[in-house]
A and B are shown apart, each in its own frame.
Chain A
Amino acid sequence: METLINKLKKAAPRATLLMALAAGSTLQSCGDPDTKGNAKDDAVASNAAEAVYVAPGEHDELYSFLSGGFNGQVSVYGLPSGRLLKIIPVFTQFAENGYGYNEESKAMLQTSHGFVPWDDLHHPKLSRTDGMADGRWLFVNGNNTPRVARVDLKTFETVEIMEIPNSAGNHCSPYPTNNNEYVLAGTRFSVPLDMKGGTQDVSLSDYKDKFRGSISFIKVDPEHGDMELDFQILVPGFDYDLANGGKGPSNDWVFFTTYNTEKSATLKELGASQNDRDYLAAINWKLAAKYAAEGKAKEMPANYYHNKMDHGSHTAKSTVKKTVRYLLPEDCPGMMYLLPAPKSPHGIDVDPTGEYMVVNGKLASSLPVFSFSKMQKAIEDKDFDGEVNGIPVLKYESVLKGEVKEPGLGPLHTEFDGKGNAYSTMFVSSEVVKWSLEDLQVKDRMPVYYSPGHLMIPGGDTREPYGKYMVVMNKITKDRFLPTGPELMHSAQLIDISGEKMKMILDFPTVAEPHYAQAIKADLVAPNSVKFFKLDENTHPEAVKNEKDVSMTRNGRTVKVNMTSIRSHFTPDNIEGVQVGDTVLFHVTNLEQDWDVPHGFAVMGANNAETLIMPGATQTLRWVPKQAGIFPFYCTDFCSALHQEMQGYVRVSPRGSNVPITFSTGEKKPVPPASASVN
């Protein structure tokens, strides 16, 4: 307690400074009433409605992918309308379609800790070709139980999830290099690695000596996108916050912000806020890959899950990986450098030319901009200021292009419009600040509501940003929308940045907590969208492609029902011979071959969820009846005029009953209204 009070005392002057800065910021903006006011509508452009209006039936210009934070999902919004287009479950069970509940997708959520049906999803990143988003895949991170997932943008479904060993708090993740050579994932928390893929049982007072971080290099198959953990770099025991890749001249480099270079294990809000400067870690990924390929990498035992969804059977399989290769920076000269960065930096953002690295020091009063060419020169001249674990620390002055003075309070993230301007969010002063990369002067400021985290300009992290819109994701929404009790949706604000002054044009609620987002022109994604799965290509082992082939079999206490659904009936729809305590597996194949005609399947009393079966696919619902009787099942997705009639019954008899297995649809032998083999 004594030390805590001492620490608080030490921190007091800093708090005063923050308040002074806040006052300063207010004074400074009072002189410019056009750009900042208290009235919430001051900043809204008069033609805002027109600017975001997308007529009914018309399509949006852009897809945007917002992370869902603690809901473990990605939500897809159209821009500029702000329409919610889809929710993609990634690290979470999703009762709406059975993801993580049905037998086919459960394996996606398996980890070395068992079934983990939740995670904290922070950063969506679009796959890239030649430094530009190509609309093929979306990579996202699971922060809590370190994982990286891949969403296929043909189906908008999660197709791969890989656990990351030797990592904790997978926050600076996942950052693709400019041709997806690697997706990079850095640990937020350093942990005492046991060098077997796990952590040691050590005292927390041993933080300084025993804790280490890791940065993972995930290789991506250029054709299919499949991921593979190639190697890791074991880095000093700081906290690694955010990452971003270079481009153009800095193409071979990736940058990570760090905090807690103090290596404090407790009360980090103080402990990790002592040093005036932490570091920006710069890693030459190409050189790292070369070192790893040349045999500099060592191998250690590991234990992590790699889950993949098969295209044909729509079934996920888990593989457990038992080793991981790693590099130590001290063995690999030239691979890694540290750049001093003020103070507890959060976002690191590289401008479209690849020359400037903007470091958002969330507790700093200025915004430093580093120069890549100066960094190269400093490395050449060995302009070092000591080293950490064998990693050279470059001199601050030698790498600095300059600082943006008094940008606002609490800079978190920066994006670029491709016209020489940068836009930074100010968490504490609740505003976005536009400044020039050329002279580092502030050009415009706009209040946002309230406490913005990330901001996003479509393509803002690529070579050529689409500098028409900016989305700012805000943490606090009170009074923006109709009240909904203590919890309010977070807000996203769409800002027109095509002119000199920023104009707010739309404000829309978002699902859970959006952190980062990415957006892409609709033309790059929409034409490839799958409309239905071809039944002929369904390789699910329990698929039934014709109603004539449905079956029901008992094997011990497991009963398998291989059935079909089509508008507007199930085959079979009368099932008998099930007994209390049996495990019933309903393998339902949706025979439809038409766009937007999924059928759902739900059974009374099932202890999981429904499953929603896409046209041409097969999904399995597991059900263990606990009492005898008649149990209805039905289609949950309103599929046709006779949807309400799309139902059936299972008769459950007591254990040991002699009711034989029978199943049927209709009085006579079912003749399908249409069989899929017809052509």
Chain B
Amino acid sequence: MKAYNKILMIVAALSLGLLFLFPMWKIYLEAPQYPEGLELHIWVNKLAGSSESVLQNFNILNHYIGMEPIHAESFKELKVMPYVIAFFMVTGVIIALIGKRRLVLYWTSLLMVAGAVGIADFYMWLHKFGTNLNPEAPIKVPGMTYIPPLLGNKQLLNFDALSLPGLGSLGVFLAVLLAGLVYYFSRRSAASSAYTRHLNSVLV
């Protein structure tokens, strides 16, 4: 791999760091009583929101429909994910330094699989929270579930819920894109370096 490919690969690995700087997903709720809106921000390692106490306010509203309170502790994923991301960042840098094209492919594929697993997991917990309702809930609407949309918007009683990836997700997208480019660009240089190696062996 040429130097610029290595640098690009390092950038790919480091762009995952965006996950530590920005939320990876955002759920926006809007209702007549909440003209200013309520935002739940899902980070790689925590749950937060547009205001400090947003989680408490989500839970107060959710308790009327019997939804289990959402706590950061409810998600083991939030404990594991930072390590997974750190793993990808470190291995990405190491692969860049080694400069083996094949490793780039493995790394990228694994990252894509991890991303898909993440989205599936996210969908599952949305589903779990939206359907696992306390039968004694004060407000019961026959046939109603409260699964927020994975992507896009949906009306949930008086709330308009909108779900969109946050800037943190851009990190994963960039990492896959850049590593893919590294893989693609290093094809020629890999061929030429194989040729050089061959020449060298012949000469020696």
Contact = CB atoms under 8 A, between A and B. Distances in A.
Interface in A558-610: 566-567, 591-595
B63 A673 contact: yes
A641 B139 contact: yes
A4 interface: no
Given A641-B139, A642-B138, A676 B64 contact: no
B59 interface: yes
Contacts of B51: 593
B60 A567 contact: yes
Given A642-B64, A642-B138, A679-B72, A674 B59 contact: yes
Interface string A639-676: 01110010000000000000000000000000011111
Interface residues of B, number: 21
Contacts of B72: 678-679
Given A593-B52, A641-B139, A679-B52, A673 B57 contact: no
Contacts of B200: none
Nearest to B51: A593
Contacts of A566: 60
A674 B60 contact: yes
Contacts of B56: 591, 593-594, 674-676, 678
Given A673-B63, A674-B63, A679-B52, A593 B69 contact: no
A642 B53 CA distance: 21
Contacts of B105: none
Interface in B41-79: 46-48, 51-53, 55-60, 62-64, 69, 71-72
Contacts of B36: 595
A113 B8 CA distance: 80
Nearest to A641: B64
B57 to A, nearest CB: 5
A121 B60 CA distance: 41
B138 A674 contact: no
A674 B55 contact: yes
A566 B69 CA distance: 14
Contacts of A594: 53, 56-57, 60
A673 B59 contact: yes
Nearest to A674: B59
A527 to B, nearest CB: 14
A642 B57 CA distance: 16
Nearest to A642: B138
Among B47, B51, B53, B138, the one with the most A-chain Cβ atoms within 10 Å of its Cβ is B53
A675 B69 CA distance: 9
Interface in A270-314: none
A678 B57 contact: no
A645 B138 CA distance: 11
Contacts of B58: 674
B52 A673 contact: no
A641 B157 CA distance: 13
A217 B138 CA distance: 59
B158 to A, nearest CB: 10
Nearest to B57: A594
B59 to A, nearest CB: 3
Contact of B71 (A595, A645, A678): A678
Contacts of A591: 56
Contacts of B64: 640-642
Contacts of A674: 55-60, 63, 69
A673 B69 contact: yes
Contact of B53 (A593, A640, A673): A593
Contacts of B53: 593-594, 676
Contacts of B71: 678
A593 B52 CA distance: 9
Interface of B: 36, 46-48, 51-53, 55-60, 62-64, 69, 71-72, 138-139
Given A593-B52, A645-B138, A673-B69, 8 more contacts: A640-B64, A641-B64, A641-B138, A641-B139, A674-B58, A674-B69, A678-B55, A678-B71
What are the 10 closest A-B residue pairs judged by CB atoms, nearest first?
Answer: A593-B53, A674-B59, A673-B63, A674-B56, A594-B57, A567-B60, A678-B71, A593-B56, A678-B55, A674-B60
5 contacts: A534-B52, A593-B52, A594-B53, A675-B56, A679-B47
